[in-house]
Structures are given as C-alpha cells and as structure tokens.
Amino acid sequence: MIEAELKARVREPEAVMRALESLAGARVEVYQDTYYDRPHGDLHARDQELRVRTVNGQDDTRTVLTFKDAKVDEESGSKPEYETGVEDAETMHAIARGLGYVSVIVFEKRCRNYSFTAHGRQMLATLVRVPEIDGTFIELETLVDETDVPAALATVRAVLVDLGIDESDLTREKYTDAVQSARRTDQLSR
C-alpha cells in the first residue's frame, strides 16, 4: 500500500485541533523513533527508510517495524509503506544491529492522532510536536494502491483546506533532517 500523505506546518494549532476534534476523538501518544541504515548510507541513497517505533499511549505501549520504499510521487514524497508489530523492542533493535544496520538517529515525536472518514476515504491526521524542532506539524494520510495516489492526494489537500491549512504551509522536510540540523546547530553554539 502507498501512504498518500501531505505534511504541513500548522500556524493555528488550537484551531486545527478543535477542527479535528469535531471529526474524531484524539489518541495522544509519544513515539520513540529509531532510524537505521547500512554503515555507508545505502538505504538513504535509495530513498528508503527502516524504522523501529515504540509508541507509548495512555493505555499501552507497542512497537512497530516500518520499511518505506522510494517515493512514488515526487511532489508529495508519498511512499510504499510496510509495517508490522514487534513483540519486543530491544530484541528488534538487536536484530537490526546483528544484520549490520546502524542507528543513524533517535528522536521523540509527541502526537495527537485522529482517525476519520472524509470524502469517502479513511484518513489519519496527526498533529506532531518534536521537542527539538520549533512549531507544530500536521500529517494527513490515507492508504491507497499506486494507481489511486493522485486522486487520494487531491482529497488530502481538500481536507487540509477544510482544516484551515494553506497550501503554502506544506513541507517535504523530513523530521530526521530537521532534528539532525537542530542538533548540529546546538553543538556549534556550545
């Protein structure tokens, strides 16, 4: 499946949160993300991602392994995504290291997730704060097959407009890049 997704900076977080809460209840979760690559950056060079995510929710903790293949839509960066639950996070990290992968970055995302249907599509909207990055972001996605990506992205754009997100606020910057940049800046200022 393809994750047809757009990401944007949120200028009015409270207003967007109210709009989302009129559509669905929030699931508040904290993600601990660890991204892996080969020592020479082979995955990054192929525009692929391997991530172990531990999700701490109000009632449970779960871990998922995610592989994202190269983007299928240049403008949005939408990618095929393969995800599966993991029984034990530490064992998964040990397996990744044992297979020759190295941890390239670890960071935290504080998320409010909203699942709802809009324009006939199942949507997941996530309001995101990353402590090392200024601002609030929204990720809006729907899962589709590759032939449906353009239509799905048009729907995602329409829902973002309904939520008060302007096209000029869309961003393709990855959290991994923004966190690495913030950490470099922090080290230089010391």
Where does the pLDDT of residue 147 fall: very low under 50, low under 70, confident under 90, or very high at 90 and above?
very high
Question: What pLDDT does residue 131 have?
Answer: 97
Over the stretch 32-85, which tens digit does the pLDDT of each residue have? 999 999 999 999 999 999 999 999 999 999 999 999 999 999 989 999 999 999
What's the domain range around 99? 2-188
CA 160 to chain centre: 16
Cβ contacts of 185 within 8 Å, gap of 6 or more: none
- Determine if the pTM surpasses 0.85: yes
Cβ burial of 11 (10 Å; 0-12, 13-18, 19+) is: middle
Report the pLDDT value the prediction gives residue 186, as an integer from 0 to 100. 82
- Mean pLDDT (the chain) is 96
CATH code, domain carrying 15 = 2.40.320.10
- The number of distinct structural domains making up the chain is 1
Strand pairing category for 49-57 and 136-144: unpaired
